[in-house]
Structure 1
Amino acid sequence: MNDMTVPGLVEAAAERFGDRVFLRVADTTRTYAQTREASATMAGALAAHGCRPGDRVAALLSNRIELVDLVLGCAWLGAVVVPLNTALRGRSLRQVLHAAEPRFLYAEAELAQHAVAAGHRGGVWVVGGDDVPRPGATTEAVRPAPVRPGDTAAILFTSGTTGVSRGVRCPQAQFVWWGRNVSDALRLTPDDVLFTCLPLFHTNALNTLAHAMTVGASCVVERRFSASRYWSQVADARATAVCLLGAMVPMLLARPPGPHDRAHRAWRGLSPATPGPVWEPFRARFGVRLVDGFGSTETNLVIGSTPEEYRPGYVGTVRAGFSARVVDEALAPVADGTPGELVVRSHQEYAFSTGYLGDPEAAPDSWRRTGDRVIREPDGWFRFVDRIKDVIRRRGENISSYEVESAVRSHPAVVEAAAFPVASELAEDEVMVVVVVRPGSVLDPADLARHCATELPAFAVPRYIETVPALPLTETGKVRKAVLRERGLTTRTWDRIAGRSP
């Protein structure tokens, strides 16, 4: 069997680590040997229900063992799993179902109803139903399909915060490379326990399974993120490494100090897109060293740091097996220290996606545009500036919303912030920020504006400031800036020029 496929990874891990615990999801615990058996029997159950190699099976499932079984069972059979965001409804759900064209759907009862209402006309399997594919001793195991590294294992839809979600074709080998690259960056060993509460329809959490499987570590999957219960869950899991998103770090720091802050074994965490100013406070309070990196649903861990080598506010350096450049609008390389778009390339075969649904397959070794604006320092460290679509244009200057947000977050009364453009009466944009105030604090907008004036150039200081109870987020923790831009100014928005709200 090809070891650069998901079935090959499962088989190799079962041979090497057999009776070691691989996975814990809610009340279910599986060893590596049991995981291989579950994969083979789930594949048999899928086949018995009419699923064939190449068929697409959509999932509307929360973080539960049924989703893990479906992912591994489909890979074993040679079918294609399509995990969907459980928050999708109506038009957005219709769009992804139309794009994916799944033959089958496996879903929780209420979510299955939403999918049928959105136009799904294929087979439907409902969690807990009688006629549902499931692994087990009463199901016939099948041999793994002869899948190849470049065959599609999953279709993952990007979050679509600025437009319609697109289905990314993720090949079998991409998951294997994720496992190798991230386990190396985190310095994982068989003695480690990984903890994730991120949704398994997202590449971050889904690939945690591969990170653990690569080295024989254990993986604990929690149902969802809870800032108030996070560290007690990490302690209960006996986790030594955690998987975070940069947006979660300020939320955890905003919580009142508690007895669980240090009552755990975790000492490092993968945390992409973490604002630089919170790194050391996070480590000082929780004892967890953050590891940043650039990777996306379409790519892999191309740039990253390690627990030993890191710089707060920097993504990292280019990892072995990849190349990266910073280019201008004509795709010509720019000098170090100059912001431009990050383009990346893999020398690891099928470590990247093969493209989007509806598009021709991309060459495995082609340069890929990322849509991220970055700066490469002369010593090779990369610093994230902004998503190119999030750049604000004011008075002839390009303003990074990321840098504005970092400055706003450094105010002691601010927990979280989102910066975005609003229309100016003079042309181009004005800078607006929406902020969440730290519990127990009071924020004076004028004081925040003065604070920003000490941290930012004058043209980047926000004109408009508004406080809100919470930012609108996707299921994967990304701020839905399209919602904020549509909302724009309100009667509660403070105007720095006028010195008051409208």
Structure 2
Amino acid sequence: MSDLTVPGLVEAAAERFGDRVFLRVGDTTRTYAQTREATATMAAALAARGCRPGDRVAALLSNRIELVDLVLGCAWLGAVAVPLNTGLRGGSLRQVLNAARPQFLYAEAELAQYAIEAGHRGGVWRVGGEDVPCPGTAAAVPPAPVCPQDTAAVLFTSGTTGGSRGVRCPQAQFVHWGRNVSSALRLTADDVLFTCLPLFHTNALNMLAQAMTVGAGCVVTGRFSASRYWSQVADSGATVVYLLGAMVPMLLAQPPGPHDRAHRATRSLAPAAPGPLWEDFRERFGVTLVDGFGSTETNLVIGMTPEESRPGYMGTVRPGFSARVVDEALAPVTDGTPGELLVRSRQPYAFATGYLGDPEPAPGSWRRTGDRVVREPDGWFRFVDRVKDVIRRRGENISSSEVESVVRSHPAVDAAAVFPVSSELAEDEVMVAVVVREGCLLDPQDLARHCARDLPAFAVPRYVETFAALPLTETGKVRKAALRERGVTSRTWDRAAVTPPSAPSAAS
């Protein structure tokens, strides 16, 4: 069996770390040896219910042991797991089901009904039902003769800028994720990994592969709660935690409490965490933030280690990968010049094999990321924006993320999202959606003066509107497409309709 497959990873981990605890999810605790047995018997249970190699099994399951069993059992059998966002409903759920065309669906009862209403016509297994596939209900079967390039799972992108797309993730991609990230985070068998991110997301799924690579333990809980987060981390005994960038300011916005340092965590993989907050986060919580570039379609191409943590940067190119920055004509640009990031892998099948319905990219080919970055002369990469989120105004390119950073530094702002809206001219105008910090009042004109202090005039938002909460995906990303579609309303403050701000006020 190839060591670049999920069954190979599970078997090797069971052989090396047998009685060590691998996983805790809810009330279930499993050792590595028990995980191998559960995986082999889950595959047998799937086969007994008609599932065959190559079949797709969709899942609408929250962070529970059934989803782990399904993903590992499908990989062992040679079937394809399709974990779906549990927040999908109606047309969006219909779209992903039409793209995936699963033969089977494993879901919580209420979510199964949503899928049926959205058009699923295959087999349905409901959690708690009599005929659901479960580990231990059939004799273990040997792993199927899967290859590194065979699809192990289809993961759908978040769809923050449009419809979600199904990414074909090969068996080897998960193994490489485990090796690359465990190396960057300096993981060992003494570590305990903690996540509350959803298991339909590549970040949480790949944490399992990282643990298997080194023999660490991992703990999976439910939804993120900023107020309860550090007490959950303490209860888990975690030494490493997994965050998304938007969670970092949420945690810092919480009032100081006894759990801030009453835990064992020392480092966190936190992609897109705002650079100005890294030091505050480390001083308050004792946790070093580690960033990097990776996506559902790729791997950890760019990254850093805890000892070389550099706020505001993604890191340097990791072994086995290449990266370049290009202009709109895909020609390389000089260091220090913003452009789109292209990446390439020399690790076999470390990248996805394309999107559902699309041909497979040539091995070793350059992949476009849609991210606008800068490569510094010393080889460090800095994220600027998503290419689709760049705003063009008065002949200048404006980075929405840079404007958001300035807006968030206002003392009355808790969260912000910057996006383009149409103007009377053939260009964009800058609009910002703001969540006001509890107990504060926000004067939009004062916010404009605050922005004028640190931004060029063309980048200062023209439109400001306050929201109780920003529209988010299940993984915590702002749904800017929804904000752009909503656009300017009667509630929106327009800087052009009032006296332009003069010099920044001392109060701002």
Please give the TM-score of this superposition, normalised by the length of structure 2.
0.97
Mean Cα displacement is larger for which, 449-458 or 20-29? 449-458
1:34-84, CA deviations, whole angstroms, 9 ceiling, x for partnerless residues? 000000000000011011111110000000000000000000000000001
Aligned-pair CA distance for 1:278: 1.1
Secondary structure of the residue that 1:252 maps to in structure 2? helix
Secondary structure of the residue that 1:308 maps to in structure 2? helix
1:399-423, CA deviations, whole angstroms, 9 ceiling, x for partnerless residues? 1101110111112221211000111
State the match for 1:371 in structure 2. Answer: 370
The aligned runs of 1:263-342 (5 Å cut-off) are 263-342=262-341
Q: Which amino acid aligns with 2:484?
A: R
Q: Which amino acid aligns with 2:282?
A: R
State the match for 2:169 in structure 1. Answer: 170
Q: Which amino acid aligns with 1:120?
A: H
Unaligned runs of 5+ in 1: none
Conservation of the 8 A alpha-carbon contact between 1:195 and 1:237: yes
Aligned-pair CA distance for 1:492: 2.4
Distance in 2 between residues matched to 1:496 and 1:281, nearest whole Å: 33
Secondary structure of the residue that 2:496 maps to in structure 1? coil
Aligned-pair CA distance for 1:441: 2.1
1:331-358, CA deviations, whole angstroms, 9 ceiling, x for partnerless residues? 1100000010000000100000000111
Residue 255 of structure 1 pairs with residue 283 of structure 2: no
State the match for 1:123 in structure 2. Answer: 123
State the match for 2:209 in structure 1. Answer: 210
Conservation of the 8 A alpha-carbon contact between 1:327 and 1:341: yes
Distance in 2 between residues matched to 1:337 and 1:229, nearest whole Å: 41
Conservation of the 8 A alpha-carbon contact between 1:342 and 1:369: yes
Conservation of the 8 A alpha-carbon contact between 1:254 and 1:439: no
Conservation of the 8 A alpha-carbon contact between 2:371 and 2:387: yes
Distance in 2 between residues matched to 1:200 and 1:114, nearest whole Å: 19
Unaligned runs of 5+ in 2: 500-508
Mean Cα displacement is larger for which, 372-381 or 449-458? 449-458
Conservation of the 8 A alpha-carbon contact between 1:352 and 1:364: no
Residue 10 of structure 1 pairs with residue 10 of structure 2: yes
Distance in 2 between residues matched to 1:17 and 1:442, nearest whole Å: 55
Structure 1 runs (4+) deviating above 4 angstroms are none
Q: Which amino acid aligns with 1:426?
A: L
Distance in 1 between residues matched to 2:81 and 2:463, nearest whole Å: 44
Q: Which amino acid aligns with 2:439?
A: G
Distance in 2 between residues matched to 1:374 and 1:62, nearest whole Å: 34
Conservation of the 8 A alpha-carbon contact between 2:60 and 2:86: yes
State the match for 2:199 in structure 1. Answer: 200
Distance in 2 between residues matched to 1:65 and 1:256, nearest whole Å: 33
Q: Which amino acid aligns with 1:48?
A: A
Aligned-pair CA distance for 1:90: 1.1
Distance in 2 between residues matched to 1:148 and 1:426, nearest whole Å: 55
Residue 27 of structure 1 pairs with residue 11 of structure 2: no
Aligned-pair CA distance for 1:390: 0.5
1:352-401, CA deviations, whole angstroms, 9 ceiling, x for partnerless residues? 00001111111231100000000000000111111010111111111110
Aligned-pair CA distance for 1:139: 1.9
The aligned runs of 1:41-80 (5 Å cut-off) are 41-80=41-80
The aligned runs of 1:115-194 (5 Å cut-off) are 115-136=115-136, 138-194=137-193
Aligned-pair CA distance for 1:497: 2.2
Distance in 1 between residues matched to 2:365 and 2:55, nearest whole Å: 28
Conservation of the 8 A alpha-carbon contact between 1:58 and 1:83: yes
Tell me the number of residue pairs that the alignment of Structure 1 and Structure 2 aligns: 500
State the match for 2:405 in structure 1. Answer: 406
State the match for 1:440 in structure 2. Answer: 439
State the match for 2:239 in structure 1. Answer: 240
Q: Which amino acid aligns with 2:320?
A: G
Distance in 1 between residues matched to 2:458 and 2:310, nearest whole Å: 27
State the match for 1:478 in structure 2. Answer: 477
Q: Which amino acid aligns with 2:476?
A: G
Secondary structure of the residue that 1:497 maps to in structure 2? helix
Q: Which amino acid aligns with 1:113?
A: Q
Aligned-pair CA distance for 1:498: 2.0
Secondary structure of the residue that 1:9 maps to in structure 2? helix
Aligned-pair CA distance for 1:490: 2.2
Conservation of the 8 A alpha-carbon contact between 1:182 and 1:301: yes
Distance in 2 between residues matched to 1:35 and 1:364, nearest whole Å: 33
Distance in 2 between residues matched to 1:192 and 1:443, nearest whole Å: 44
Distance in 1 between residues matched to 2:454 and 2:279, nearest whole Å: 19
**Superposition RMSD in Å:** 1.1
Distance in 2 between residues matched to 1:346 and 1:412, nearest whole Å: 43
Q: Which amino acid aligns with 2:398?
A: I
Please give the TM-score of this superposition, normalised by the length of structure 1.
0.98
Aligned-pair CA distance for 1:164: 1.5
Distance in 1 between residues matched to 2:275 and 2:442, nearest whole Å: 22
Aligned-pair CA distance for 1:440: 2.1
Q: Which amino acid aligns with 2:19?
A: D
The percentage of aligned residue pairs carrying the same residue is 84
Secondary structure of the residue that 2:194 maps to in structure 1? strand
